[in-house]
Amino acid sequence: MKLGLVIDLDTCVGCHACAVACKEWNGSSAVSGPLSDYEPYGAEPSGVWFNRIRHYEIGEYPDNKTLNLPMSCMHCEDAACVTVCPTGASYKRPEDGIVLIDQDKCMGCNLCSWACPYGARELDRSSGTMKKCTLCVDRIYDLELPVEERQPACVLACPAHARMFGDLDDPDSAASQAVRERGGFGLMSELGYKPVNQYLPARKPRPIPVQTSPSPPPGRTRTFINRMIKR
């Protein structure tokens, strides 16, 4: 089994709901919580976030668009973070492929963070240990939850339904089918770490149609502008 996320770059609107839901769930999780915040009300707040959304402007006006790129641990098949960890704290579960960190074995040496090409590892300064996306391992196997809720918090929160969760080893899973039908790809797969998470490509930017603005009637400029503002 190869559990992972499939993220649709065509429908992601970059709202950060997935990141907030992730922080909320994992902050109170026994697996990885609490997740520290540093100077949350200061000029430069920061903290531990497992899922971060990057925003890029691609193309050139008028053939441009914003691309929103949510990124978390890719649960790589050949995970560099696992290879370099000197204490065995980082490990990949053979039964489902989830990459986890044993908080009791981690000494916060940062080696895994330097090795991860996706910037997925977050050193929690309060605990002195490394943390990262757990694929919500404490949700997806929780038999107390209704079956439809046994999914990662980020998937359940996404208002655009841009996130899917499933077994990417099973060709019949909805996640695998979406990857097949939409030409899904692993981010920076040329590096050879075999990321399990997959992205569905965004459509090319559509040119913005050029329109001439209506001219204000002579002598009525102020009224015209006021009317435009009220709209």
- Interface positions with ligand SF4 (CB under 6 A): 12-18, 22, 25-26, 50-51, 53, 68, 70, 72, 84-85, 87, 89-90, 101, 106-112, 130, 133-136, 152-154, 157-158, 160, 162-163
Report, in Å, the least distance between residue 212 CB and ligand SF4: 34
Q: Which residues partner with 6 through β-bridges?
A: 164, 198
Q: Is residue 52 within 8 Å of residue 18, measured between CB atoms?
A: no
Which residue(s) pair with 55 in the sheet? 68
Nearer to ligand SF4 by Cβ, of 114 and 224: the residue is: 114
Closest CA to 132 of 6, 1, 22: 22
Peptide bond into 216 cis (omega under 30): no
- Comparison of 62 and 119: residue with beta carbon closer to ligand SF4: 119
Find all residues with CB under 8 Å of 78, minimum gap 6, and list them: 192, 193, 194
| Shortest reach from residue 157's CB to ligand SF4, in Å | 6
Please, which residue, 32 or 176, has the CB nearer to ligand SF4? 32
At 27, which helix (H) or strand (E)? Answer: helix 17-27
Of the pair 20, 191, the CB lying nearest ligand SF4 is at 20
Query: Minimum distance between the CB of residue 161 and ligand SF4, rounded to whole angstroms?
Result: 8
Amino acid at 52: R
For ligand SF4, give the closer residue by CB, 53 or 176.
Answer: 53
For the CB of residue 224, give the shortest distance to ligand SF4 in the complex, in Å. Answer: 37
Query: Is the previous residue joined to 218 through a cis bond, with omega within 30 degrees of 0?
Result: no
Least Cβ distance, residue 128 to ligand SF4 (angstroms): 9
